[in-house]
């Protein structure tokens, strides 16, 4: 349910912001693509408001008037200031020199060393030390054009925009002062007190303090890096959304997905579709289709088609479950435990298993399997209502089966050797079953053979407790405690069914056979002994 709802919200979220981005582009393009008719309708006179000296000098051109000292020109509500100017009243064109200042409106001012202005189309070219100030936004460049009709400033050769504590630099840029939206192209660098962004194309909504990017983008934080292609960045709240494959990484950890939401203040990441996590510290790779990570809380999870690979041991362990949770020590930044829930299956060359939930505790290297757990190790099958596996030196040290433990080993020729009891501890040596301590209603069935493999009979025994030694997958010695009964049935006198203990189930068909088989969902439902007893009591 979480995945479906979140994916739905994410899709709507993306569509909404793509719509916003498209709208911004259309606004900018509409500003650039004016018709001549519209320009003609907006023609107004340019007036001389003040000049210390006014001189006609044909050497500067026909109908050109030279204005010197404290020059002030006006068109509509816009004022133009300069030290001097060459003005053609008929063409409504003038050149301004020295301390050029265009008072566009109450909030927007432009400064430069020189300008050319066409009053017919209300278009200005500004040269050298160009500065546009709009409220708390400052644009700086060495060459800029400004279209008064569209409130559009353009710089084609390097410029920067500063807004409070944010600075944006690019090779090309556009700025609409009426709606406070900027568009940047080529080598765009955004710097804030908490991050640094590098991208190729970016639209900046200054009022909302949101940046939309359209191409390969990297955001650098103090300890992590966020990479993506398309998306947005909320500079006010330090929140980002990236699409078309995104990666959040630090020196020990990375998470990659088709799209990603990241809240830097909360240190929260949400990865959606084709999630790939690599933890080099714990030597693990996790895959799935949806994941969330809360770094400050030391908690994360992955769900939907989950596969985890642990390559710290000499052989890689592959694990699948519906959902996988991870818990970290936030101070030491070390893994504490891993929880796998529902339809758990794992495969390693020397051990395989299944259950409905698995908890692995890093400190004591113990994995706890619950609800119909089964472990297969080489030729052995181990079952119990609960199973605890202890790992030492990257290998299986012991397996605790309780209650209702049941171990089955396939005989070398035919039949099955079996050990059953309330609580059983199986000890391993080099990942092979070495000996078993069986405590409480201990029972065994094992096949006796000559050295040449010839059948002697079947030994059936019961005791309060047993210590069983195993060599080469065969029971070779049993030490009994307290009450004991033991019967050897020769092959020719063997009673039907004596070779199987009550509750015997050889479940080889449920065993994962390779790394990809962990995704298989066996149709057979295994019912544990406790459930069987409860069902029997109800009857």
CATH number at residue 435: 2.60.450
Is pLDDT at 95 greater than 60 in this prediction? Answer: yes
Which pLDDT band holds residue 373 (cuts at 50, 70, 90)? very high
Quick check: is 107 in a domain?
Answer: yes
pLDDT of 529: 43
- Residue with the bigger pLDDT between 394 and 127: it is 127
Number of domains in the chain: 3
8 Å CB contact between 175 and 206: no
Pair (92, 51) in one structural domain: yes
Quick check: is 512 in a domain?
Answer: no
pTM, two decimals, is 0.78
3-state class of 491 per DSSP?
A: helix
Contacts of 367 (CB under 8 A, 6+ apart): 358, 359, 360, 361, 388, 389, 391
Contacts of 253 (CB under 8 A, 6+ apart): 277, 278, 279, 280, 281
8 Å CB contact between 79 and 63: no
Is pLDDT at 185 greater than 60 in this prediction? Answer: yes
Average pLDDT of the residues of the chain:
87
Determine what percent of the chain is predicted with pLDDT higher than 90: 65
- Domain finish residue from 194, 221, 252: 252
Contacts of 507 (CB under 8 A, 6+ apart): 374, 381, 524, 526
Q: What is the dihedral of CA 33, 176, 111, 213, to 10 degrees?
A: -110
Pair (91, 165) in one structural domain: yes
Helix (H) or strand (E) holding 505: none
Q: Domain range for residue 466? A: 379-507+530-538
Pair (248, 270) in one structural domain: no
Quick check: is 309 in a domain?
Answer: yes
Pair (429, 497) in one structural domain: yes
In angstroms, the Cα distances linking 449 to 471, 485, 491, 498, 532 are 14, 21, 11, 17, 35
Q: What's the pLDDT tens digit per position in 408-462?
A: 998 777 889 999 999 999 998 877 888 999 998 999 998 888 777 788 888 899 9
Pair (245, 269) in one structural domain: no
Pair (112, 258) in one structural domain: no
Distance CA 273, CA 469 (A): 50
pLDDT of 60: 72
Pair (401, 320) in one structural domain: no
Pair (232, 262) in one structural domain: no
Distance CA 163, CA 285 (A): 41
Which pLDDT band holds residue 23 (cuts at 50, 70, 90)? low
pLDDT of 407: 94
Helix (H) or strand (E) holding 171: none
Pair (67, 134) in one structural domain: yes
Quick check: is 442 in a domain?
Answer: yes
Token pair of 90, please? 């008929």
Mean pLDDT of 78-90: 96
Token pair of 382, please? 């181990």
Pair (109, 210) in one structural domain: yes
- Residue with the bigger pLDDT between 227 and 37: it is 227
3-state class of 203 per DSSP?
A: strand
Which pLDDT band holds residue 21 (cuts at 50, 70, 90)? low
Beta-strand relationship, 317-320 and 284-294? unpaired
Pair (493, 462) in one structural domain: yes
Quick check: is 522 in a domain?
Answer: no
Quick check: is 88 in a domain?
Answer: yes
8 Å CB contact between 287 and 306: yes
CATH number, residue 273 = 2.60.450.10
Tell me the β-bridge partners of 436. Answer: 426, 468
- Give the count of beta carbons closer than 10 Å to the beta carbon of residue 495: 9
Nearest residue to 383 (alpha-carbon basis) of 395, 367, 399: 399
Is pLDDT at 231 greater than 60 in this prediction? Answer: yes
Phi/psi class of residue 472: alpha, beta or left (left: φ > 0; alpha: ψ in -120 to 50)? Answer: left
At residue 497's C-alpha, the angle toward residues 494 and 498, to 5°, is 55
- Domain finish residue from 328, 349, 370: 349
Quick check: is 516 in a domain?
Answer: no
Pair (214, 269) in one structural domain: no
Q: Token pair 């006179």 is at which residue? A: 45
Which pLDDT band holds residue 171 (cuts at 50, 70, 90)? very high
Tell me the β-bridge partners of 156. Answer: none
3-state class of 496 per DSSP?
A: coil
Quick check: is 396 in a domain?
Answer: yes
Q: How far apart are the first and last CA of the chain?
A: 36
- Domain finish residue from 206, 233, 252: 252
């Amino acid at each position: 349910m979480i995945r479906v709802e979140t994916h739905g919200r994410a899709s709507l979220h993306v569509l909404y912001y793509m719509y916003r981005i498209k709208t911004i582009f259309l606004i900018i393009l509409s500003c650039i693509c004016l018709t001549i008719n519209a320009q003609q309708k907006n023609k107004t006179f340019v007036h001389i408001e003040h000049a210390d000296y006014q001189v006609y000098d044909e050497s500067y051109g026909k109908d050109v008037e030279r204005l010197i000292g404290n020059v002030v020109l006006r068109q509509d509500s816009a004022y133009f200031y300069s030290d001097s100017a060459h003005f053609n009243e008929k063409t409504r064109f003038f050149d301004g020199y020295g301390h050029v200042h265009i008072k566009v409106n109450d909030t927007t001012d432009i400064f430069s060393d020189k300008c050319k202005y066409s009053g017919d189309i209300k278009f200005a070219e500004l040269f050298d030390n160009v500065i546009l100030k709009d409220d708390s936004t400052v644009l700086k460049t060495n060459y800029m054009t400004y279209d008064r009709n569209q409130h559009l400033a353009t710089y084609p050769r390097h410029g920067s925009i500063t807004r409070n504590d944010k600075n944006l630099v690019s090779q090309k840029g556009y700025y609409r002062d009426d709606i406070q939206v900027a568009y940047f192209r080529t080598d765009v660098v955004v710097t804030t007190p908490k991050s640094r962004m590098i991208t190729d194309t970016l639209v900046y909504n200054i009022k909302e303090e949101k940046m939309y990017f359209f191409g390969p983008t990297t955001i650098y934080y103090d300890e992590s890096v966020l990479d993506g292609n398309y998306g947005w960045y909320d500079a006010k709240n330090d929140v980002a959304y990236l699409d078309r494959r995104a990666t959040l990484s630090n020196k020990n950890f990375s998470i990659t997905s088709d799209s990603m939401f990241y809240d830097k203040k909360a240190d929260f990441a949400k990865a959606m579709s084709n999630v790939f996590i690599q933890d080099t510290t714990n030597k693990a790779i996790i895959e799935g289709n949806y994941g969330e990570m809360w770094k400050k809380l030391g908690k994360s999870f992955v769900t939907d088609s989950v596969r985890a690979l642990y390559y710290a041991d000499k052989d890689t362990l592959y694990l699948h479950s519906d959902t996988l949770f991870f818990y970290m020590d936030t101070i030491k930044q070390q893994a504490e435990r891993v929880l796998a829930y529902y339809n758990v299956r794992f495969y390693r060359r020397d051990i395989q298993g299944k259950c409905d939930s698995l908890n692995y505790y890093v400190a004591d290297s113990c994995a706890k399997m619950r609800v119909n757990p089964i472990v297969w190790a080489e030729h052995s099958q181990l079952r119990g209502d609960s199973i605890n596996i202890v790992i030492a030196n990257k290998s299986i040290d012991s397996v605790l089966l309780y209650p209702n433990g049941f171990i089955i080993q396939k005989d070398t020729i035919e039949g099955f050797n079996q050990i059953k009891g309330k609580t059983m501890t199986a000890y391993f040596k080099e990942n092979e079953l070495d000996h078993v301590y069986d405590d409480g209603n201990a029972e065994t069935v094992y096949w006796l053979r000559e050295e040449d493999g010839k059948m002697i009979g079947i030994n059936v025994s019961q005791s309060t407790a047993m210590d069983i030694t195993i060599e080469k997958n065969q029971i070779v010695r049993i030490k009994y405690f307290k009450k004991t009964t033991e019967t050897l049935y020769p092959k020719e006198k063997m009673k039907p069914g004596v070779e199987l203990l009550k509750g015997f189930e050889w479940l080889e068909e449920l065993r994962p056979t390779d790394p990809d088989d962990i995704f298989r969902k066996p149709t057979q439902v295994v019912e544990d002994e406790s459930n069987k007893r409860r069902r029997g009591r109800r009857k």
